[in-house]
């Protein structure tokens, strides 16, 4: 029988004892996902607008002064119309309370993009039975759906047929060889009173582009407005 030296036995016992007393590494703390109630998440702005969301946006800006005109198809569109990286909402409206639509202090600006005479020092009245196109600019994390999104343009005489959204790149390609404006964001293409053209935002206001009559001049710039609460 082979005799194992005593010092080897003692060394083995010491190693076993040291191994048994080695601390076990702690597991990392679990990752706690914040609840939807404590941390509200931005909505999916790329999703197509829903009728109920459009109604809510119109109610937020106009209160009871105007309502969505569902006689048009489509009667609302979304896109980055002023080119600030936020999604906006364009929606066809009809006045419900004409006195409130024409009150002095409103959170919207009234414009006539197709008019040859533009005077921003004169308030443009809204008629009782006319059809309007409101463009509600996006704001904050949820863009045009955001509760703070009230900055709005109300456009007269521009509601037609076949409303569609066009990117600036598509607009340039479709009108190659023509004199073009410099839109800051997406455009709205449509046919108004038999004339095909585009609504576009440039120099702080909305303008109308008719490929047959455009002379290469832009409307004079205006001071950009700040939303004002309705009384």
CB-based contact 123:106 (threshold 8 Å):
no
Share of the chain above pLDDT 70, in %: 72
- pLDDT of 35 > 60? The answer is no
Averaged pLDDT score across all residues of the chain? 82
Which of 25-34, 119-128, 199-208, 211-220 is least confident?
Answer: 25-34
More confident residue, 37 or 152: 152
pLDDT of residue 29 exceeding 60, the answer is no
What pLDDT shows up at residue 128? 93
Average pLDDT over residues 27-50: 54
Q: Residue 184: pLDDT above 60?
A: yes
d(CA 143, CA 44): 10
More confident: 187 or 228: 187
What is the chain written as a DSSP string? Answer: -PPPPHHHHHHHHHHHHHHHTPPPPPPPPPPPPPPTTTSPPPP-TTSPP-HHHHHHHHHHHHTTSEEE-TTSSS-EEEE-TTSSSS-EEEEEEEES-HHHHT-SS-SEEEE-TT-S---TTSPPPPPTT--EEEEE---STTGGGSTT---EEEEES---EEEEEE-HHHHHHHTTTS-----SS-EEEEEETTEEEEEEEETTEEEEE-TTT--S--PPP-PPP------
**pLDDT grade for 199, boundaries at 50, 70 and 90:** very high
Q: How far is CA 93 from CA 67, 155, 174, in A?
A: 6, 10, 29
Tokens 């959204």 locate to 165
Q: Tally the residues of the chain.
A: 231
User: What pLDDT is attached to residue 214?
Assistant: 92
CA distance 210 to 5: 104
Burial of 167 (0-12, 13-18, 19+ CB in 10 A): middle
Mean pLDDT for the stretch of residues 49-67: 97
What pLDDT is recorded for position 39? Answer: 40
What is the mean predicted confidence (pLDDT) over 149-163?
Answer: 96
Report the 10 Å Cβ neighbour count for 97.
Answer: 14
pLDDT of residue 34: 41
Least confident of 111-120, 126-135, 137-146, 220-229: 220-229
**Could you give the angle at the alpha carbon of 200 between the alpha carbons of 186 and 134, nearest 5°?**
95
Burial of 224 (0-12, 13-18, 19+ CB in 10 A): exposed
Enter the pTM of the model. 0.75
The per-residue pLDDT for 172 is: 96
pLDDT at 25 over 80: no
Question: What is the rounded CA–CA span in Å between residue 161 and residue 16?
Answer: 87
């Amino acid at each position: 029988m082979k005799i194992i030296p005593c010092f080897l036995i003692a060394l083995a016992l010491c190693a076993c004892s040291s191994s048994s007393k080695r601390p076990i590494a702690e597991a990392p703390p679990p990752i706690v996902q914040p609840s939807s109630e404590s941390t509200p998440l931005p909505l999916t702005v790329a999703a197509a607008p829903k009728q109920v969301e459009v109604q809510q946006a119109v109610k937020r800006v106009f209160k009871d002064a105007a309502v969505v005109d569902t006689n048009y198809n489509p009667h609302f569109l979304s896109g980055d119309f002023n080119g600030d990286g936020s999604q906006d909402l364009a929606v066809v409206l009809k006045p419900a309370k004409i006195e409130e639509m024409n009150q002095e202090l409103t959170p919207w600006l009234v414009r006539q993009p197709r008019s040859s005479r533009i005077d921003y020092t004169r308030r443009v009245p809204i008629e009782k039975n006319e059809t309007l196109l409101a463009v509600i600019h996006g704001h904050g994390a949820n863009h045009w759906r955001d509760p703070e999104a009230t900055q709005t343009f109300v456009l007269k005489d521009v509601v037609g047929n076949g409303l569609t959204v066009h990117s600036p790149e598509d607009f340039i390609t479709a009108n190659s060889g023509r004199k073009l404006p410099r839109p800051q964001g997406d455009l709205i293409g449509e046919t108004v009173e038999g004339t095909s053209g585009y609504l576009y935002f440039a120099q702080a206001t909305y303008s109308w582009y008719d490929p047959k009559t455009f002379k290469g001049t832009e409307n004079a710039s205006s001071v950009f407005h700040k939303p004002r609460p309705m009384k």
